[in-house]
Structure 1
Amino acid sequence: MNTLSGWIESIEKVIAMILIASMTIVIAAAVLFRYLLNAPIFWASEASIFMMAWLTFIGGSLGLKYKSQASVTFLVDRFSDNGKRVFEIVSYVIILIFMALLLYLSYQWVFSSSHQKSTSMRIPMWIPYLSVPVGLTFAFIHLLNNLVNLFKKKQQGGEPL
């Protein structure tokens, strides 16, 4: 599971770098063309919105991989190490169930919108919409890996939480 999660992490990092560079170039070109050449690029805002959607879901997945999401821990901090571990397991299970439901619904949504085209660029809308299920699938794998590692750490006598 660690191998799959690590492989996906590598792909996500490359995709994120490409998207950030592409967005920078497209937005800079759009500003240049609009204000210096007085010839706006009609598809630039739509392309940057689609790239931002992809970047959001890929970045969110990476955030779950690194456990860098914001959390309020004043209640959890009062538990013993064993209680913290149980609380973490329960929270992972709840999140994974919710994520599985979102995955199912997001794939249905993408397949139902296969006939739509974007306004400016005229690309099929399943391409930008696919950012949701792809990002959620990657996040699901990272969360599942974190849960498996949580069980492995306790079985191997790892350090307390």
Structure 2
Amino acid sequence: MLQRLSNGLARCEEITAAVLAAAVTCLILTNIAFRALGSPLYWVSELAIYAMIWMTFLIAGAVLKRRQGIAVTLLSDLLPPTGRKLVGVAVDAMVLLFALLLVWLCWRWYQPLTLAQTGFDTRAFQGQTFNFIYAENTSTLGIKKFWAWLIVPWFALSLSLHGVSNLVQSLTAKRGRV
């Protein structure tokens, strides 16, 4: 069940990243056309940047789920099969540890419980915490930046799921073959 959930999430992330890649292309081409006409749309550039950031985080989670990231395998290639499996388990554990650390950092960054305790009053939240995450607007889009930054907690949670899934898979594969 965990594997199926992780695989399904990775597939959704891949599809969404592909849609965002197409959107980035369309946004940039639109901006080029409007600049050529002498009427640049500045918000289009900012939207393209945020779409590219979201695309990158989404596909990074899927790539790590599939274990298709760039890796230096000089050491692991020299090891016997058992050593390679142990290195694989260690890598999966480090990915999970990084993901959980990122979840914790996002929790501290967004402080959702404190925001709820202040009745979702961002001014009271800022006064109590000196955290201005909910106050800053984007330059041209006019939306709060925390909406764009929500990809980071999403990535952290997604990577946590993928990390647990990969670690369980590595551990059960190791037990079954040794």
- Once the two structures are superposed, the pairs formed by residues 12-161 of structure 1 within 5 Å of their partners are 12-35=13-36, 37-111=37-111, 112=131, 113-157=133-177
Q: Post-superposition, which runs of at least 4 consecutive aligned residues in structure 1 deviate over 4 A?
A: none
Q: Normalization by structure 1: what TM-score?
A: 0.88
Q: Cα distance, 1:6 vs. partner? A: 1.8
Amino acid of the residue matched to residue 26 of structure 2? I
The runs of 5 or more residues in structure 2 that have no matched partner are: 112-130
Amino acid of the residue matched to residue 87 of structure 2? F
Cα distance in 2, alignment partners of residues 79 and 100 from structure 1: 29
Could you say what secondary structure the match of 2:42 adopts? coil
Deviations 1:48-94 (A, max 9, x none): 11111101111111110111111111111221111111122122222
Cα distance in 2, alignment partners of residues 11 and 24 from structure 1: 20
Could you say what secondary structure the match of 2:74 adopts? coil
Q: Cα distance, 1:10 vs. partner? A: 2.6
Q: Cα distance, 1:155 vs. partner? A: 3.6
The runs of 5 or more residues in structure 1 that have no matched partner are: none
**Is the CA contact 1:30–1:40 (under 8 Å) kept in the aligned structure 2?**
yes
Aligned to 2:126: none
**Is the CA contact 1:27–1:48 (under 8 Å) kept in the aligned structure 2?**
yes
Q: 1:155 to 1:14 in 2, by over 3 A?
A: same
Cα distance in 2, alignment partners of residues 17 and 70 from structure 1: 20
Which deviates the most, 66-75 or 8-17? 8-17
